[in-house]
Chains A and B, each alone.
Chain A
Amino acid sequence: EVQLVESGGGLVQPGRSLRLSCAASGFTFDDYAMHWVRQTPGKGLEWVSSISWNSGRTAYADSVKGRFAISRDNVINSLYLQMSSLRAEDTAFYYCAKDRRAENYCYMDVWGRGTTVTVSS
């Protein structure tokens, strides 16, 4: 079964850091680009960051550029999002998602269940 399982969310104070993880199984992880997408309660979806199959290309939303870093470990089939200098507006439900392509960012065809990040003092 193709599966993505996020972890690492929680309550964090403004200005602090947090690292999200996403464990992949049921597919050849290093064949596909991966994404992080977030959703605030009752609101819509916001793309956060993407990484190509071999980590050669990364991309970030302007709202997180310079504060967040996406990475992956193809040996242990895991995706990460290192979040620094967290702000209240980063409070959201974070999903990892698999693309159907390796190099380009197109279709998010598999999604995890998500993990909650709350930034508050």
Chain B
Amino acid sequence: DIQMTQSPSSLSASVGDRVTITCQASQDINNCLNWYQQKPGKAPKLLIYDASNLETGVPSRFSGSGSGTDFIFTISSLQPEDTATYYCQQYDNLPLTFGGGTKVEIK
């Protein structure tokens, strides 16, 4: 199975800050990586697919990059409504696997 390691597991930042989350795959997954946002009590929401493509309707302050084994998710200017847990997910191989999540809070 492909292991997805996310870091940090949690972070606290101020409104307007640039926030970066990393996701490392245990083997090359090409660009077969998605990022999801999950707010408390809600279902996950697809934000980024194929490592860097912004899902329709998602604000442009969210972005993704990377390929191979190392990926980055960025919020360019953190907003209060971005409080959530963010997960990466690979689909290069079955089983589909998720990272452990990064909880983002506002300082």
A: residues with CB less than 8 A from B are 35, 37, 44-47, 50, 59, 61-62, 95, 100, 104-109, 111-114
Contact = CB atoms under 8 A, between A and B. Distances in A.
A107 B91 contact: yes
Nearest to B53: A107
Nearest to B95: A61
A112 B43 contact: yes
| B32, B38, B87, B91 pick with most chain A CB within 10 angstroms | B91
| B46, B87, B89, B95 pick with most chain A CB within 10 angstroms | B95
A113 B91 CA distance: 22
A56 to B, nearest CB: 15
B98 to A, nearest CB: 4
Contacts of A105: 91, 94, 96
B56 to A, nearest CB: 9
Contacts, number: 53
A44 B91 contact: no
Contact of A107 (B38, B49, B98): B49
B18 interface: no
Contacts of A95: 43-44
Report, as a range, how many residues of chain B touch the other chain.
Answer: 20 to 34
A89 to B, nearest CB: 16
B104 to A, nearest CB: 15
A108 B46 contact: yes
Nearest to A104: B91
Nearest to A4: B43
B21 to A, nearest CB: 14
Contacts of A109: 46, 49, 55
B43 A59 contact: no
Interface string B68-88: 000000000000000000010
| B44, B49, B100 pick with most chain A CB within 10 angstroms | B44
A100 B87 CA distance: 18
Nearest to A106: B91
B34 interface: yes
A41 to B, nearest CB: 12
